[in-house]
């Protein structure tokens, strides 16, 4: 991503927003950037921010929450079960749910806080082993389990799916992965397995480098960091 030094966060944010299709919601990924840049984006109208580390999210929430009351957080990174309790009091959506154990803990902590937390199930669609998420068999098992035991998941709202495509210049591979996600999303939505199919509405695919492609495959959420905030420091 080429960034002109005269570019500002508001102008980059506007430029990204101008490219979004109707109905696509932007998660501004502010990880590794200080709270000040979140304020800049907030002042320019952005309300939903994505973070990938618990400590960093909690620190930013502590700074910002008293003033920016309608700012919403999406957690998008690997999440250890024992850290859910730190973000459960305030996080809006956890996009990176990659195990049943994690889902159960989010449910437990949500109930403890008398809240409902939206969750996206992360799907492992990329070729890279380093990426996390359920494969399709595991996904079906989890959905069946939730279907058969809804009373065990009353603290979470099953809002959709998340995935990261392969980090590659091979656009055809990225397209295949997004197409897989689009189809999987549709199959689940119409499967009869969901108690609240209307809640299942988000397909979170697409980052700075591939979100325009993702929108061709029915993305409803795009998670964009560097195109708005510049390259990460660290």
Ligand X SMILES: *Cc1c(COP(=O)(O)O)cnc(C)c1O
Binding-site ranges for ligand X (CB under 6 A)? 29, 31, 52, 76-77, 164, 207-209, 223-227
Check the CA dihedral 39-50-48-63 and report its sign.
Answer: negative
We find the least distance from the C-beta atom of residue 209 to ligand X, in angstroms, to be: 6
Q: How far out from the chain centre does Cα 1 lie?
A: 21
Q: Which is nearer to ligand X, 11 or 190 (CB)?
A: 11
The nearest distance, CB 226 to ligand X, in angstroms, is: 4
If the CB atoms of residues 79 and 155 are measured against ligand X, the closer one turns out to be 79
Nearer CB in complex with ligand X: 13/29? 29
Query: For ligand X, which is the closer residue by CB, 99 or 208?
Result: 208
CB of 187 to ligand X, least distance (A): 23
Written in H, E and C, the secondary structure of 170-183 is CHHHHHHHHHHHHH
Cα–Cα distance for residue pair 6/12, rounded to 1 Å = 10
Nearer to ligand X, 79 or 224 (CB): 224
Is the separation of the CB atoms in 34 and 9 below 8 Å? Answer: no
What is the closest distance, in whole angstroms, from the C-beta atom of residue 221 to ligand X in the complex?
10
Q: How far is the CB of 193 from ligand X (least distance, A)?
A: 25
Q: State the residue number with the nearest CB to ligand X.
A: 225
């Amino acid at each position: 991503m080429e960034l002109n030094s005269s570019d500002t966060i508001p102008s980059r944010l506007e430029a990204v927003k101008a490219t979004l299709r109707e109905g696509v919601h932007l998660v501004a990924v502010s990880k590794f950037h200080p709270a000040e840049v979140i304020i800049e984006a907030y002042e320019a109208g952005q309300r939903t921010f994505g973070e990938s580390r618990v400590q960093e999210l909690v620190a930013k929430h502590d700074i910002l929450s008293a003033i920016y009351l309608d700012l919403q957080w999406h957690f998008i990174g690997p999440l250890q079960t024992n850290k859910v309790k730190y973000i459960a009091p305030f996080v809006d959506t956890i996009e990176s749910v990659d195990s049943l154990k994690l889902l159960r803990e989010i449910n437990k902590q949500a109930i403890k806080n008398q809240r409902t937390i939206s969750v996206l199930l992360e799907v492992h669609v990329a070729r890279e082993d380093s990426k996390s998420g359920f494969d399709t068999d595991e996904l079906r098992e989890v959905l069946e389990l939730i279907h058969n035991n809804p009373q065990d998941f009353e603290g979470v709202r099953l809002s959709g799916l998340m995935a990261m495509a392969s980090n590659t210049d091979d656009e055809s591979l990225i397209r295949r992965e997004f197409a897989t996600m689009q189809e999987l999303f549709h199959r689940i939505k119409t499967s009869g397995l969901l108690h609240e199919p209307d809640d299942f509405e988000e397909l979170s695919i697409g980052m700075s480098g591939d979100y325009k492609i993702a929108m061709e495959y029915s993305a409803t959420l795009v998670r964009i960091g560097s195109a708005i905030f510049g390259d990460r420091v660290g």
